[in-house]
Amino acid sequence: MGSPAHAATGATWLDQPCVVDGRAHIAAGRYTDQLVRSDDGRWRFRERRVTFFYWVSGDEDWAPGRYGWAPARAAADPRTPERIAAHQH
């Protein structure tokens, strides 16, 4: 049997309803994680990065690649435009 792992990576999808400045929003995206096992055996995040596929307020029309909140636009998944184009053909 080998030694236990001391580092790992993972990804988690997110569906995020929330309220920003009193307005309802909905978002979807992905967390990409790097983890390390500490000396006490517990796993800890070394890095957690979020990218969004969309983020819109409840009073806007939903569409993939639409970012109605500037911080989400800054964390936009760079592959979203490619995915949208692929589904339009």
78 confidence band (pLDDT: 50, 70, 90) = confident
- pTM of the entire predicted model: 0.67
Give the residue among 11, 7, 3 at the shortest CA–CA distance from 51: 11
Q: What are phi and psi of 19, to 5 degrees?
A: -120, 130
13 confidence band (pLDDT: 50, 70, 90) = very high
89 confidence band (pLDDT: 50, 70, 90) = low
CA distances from 60 to 4, 21, 55, 67 (A): 49, 15, 10, 10
